[in-house]
Structure 1
Amino acid sequence: MYTLKEAANILGVSSSTLRRWEKEGKITSTRTSGGHRRYTTEDLSNVNKNKVKNPKMTIGYCRVSSSDQKDDLKRQVQNVSQYCTANGYSFKIVEDLGSGLNYNKKGLKELIVLIESNFLFK
């Protein structure tokens, strides 16, 4: 589950916009016992795509398999960012740390939400 800030970042909107969308019934959330909003991948995927005014973007997915390779991850992010900038892309870098056999990764889930929500260039 994603926090308000994480969900807003994934959707490319502000936290205020996400709160407003919830009041307007455009997105649903679950509340923690402390009253904090949490959003599932499905909640984010079900956002009415016509309400999002952000331009589509290109995603760079960078992953390494262990924490020993964090420097490699930084280099990947830098290289992908430079490539996207040089080509004039509106982009977002999604990072992951962990085995390719583990599909329960935060970055991978974020990437899936972005794809399902139609926020990406095809």
Structure 2
Amino acid sequence: MSAQRADSDILLTPSEVASMFRVDPKTVTRWAKAGKLSAVRTLGGHRRYHEAEVRSLLEGVPKQRPTD
């Protein structure tokens, strides 16, 4: 298996995605329901998100400016 293939198989929980974007996990779920982020369902019905897709979305988010 190639390194690129292994990276694309990494799945993140809603909490992990939420911490990356600094939002509530419920917000991540709303994004998935709205089609802004694709989710994979586990056998138990939980949502998981592809790390590669999350990181590409994160690159488009403006960086926070430091507060003085």
User: Secondary structure at the residue paired with 1:39?
Assistant: strand
**Unmatched segments (≥5 aa) in structure 1:** 59-88, 91-122
- Cα deviation per residue 1:52-97 (whole Å; 9 max; x = unaligned)? 6xx6248xxxxxxxxxxxxxxxxxxxxxxxxxxxxxx36xxxxxxx
TM norm structure 2: 0.63
Q: 1:56 aligns with which of 47, 56, 63?
A: 63
TM-score (norm 1): 0.38
Give the share of equivalent positions with the same residue, in percent.
Answer: 38
1:2-37 residue CA offsets vs partner (Å, 9 max, x unmatched) = 111111111211111111111111001111110111
Residue 33 of structure 2 aligns to which amino acid in structure 1?
A: K
Match of 1:40 among 42, 50, 60: 50
- Taking the aligned partners of 2:56 and 2:39, their CA distance within structure 1 comes to 11
In structure 2, distance between residues paired with 1:10 and 1:45: 9
Select the residue among 21, 27, 38 that pairs with 2:31.
21
- Structure 1 CA distance for aligned equivalents of residues 57 and 63 of structure 2: 15
The runs of at least 4 aligned residues of structure 1 exceeding 4 Å deviation read: none
RMSD over equivalenced CA pairs, Å: 2.5
Counterpart Cα distance in 1 of 2:57 and 2:38? 9
The structure that is strand-richer by fraction is 1
Give the deviation of 1:43 after TM superposition.
Answer: 2.4
User: How many positions carry a matched residue from both structures?
Assistant: 56
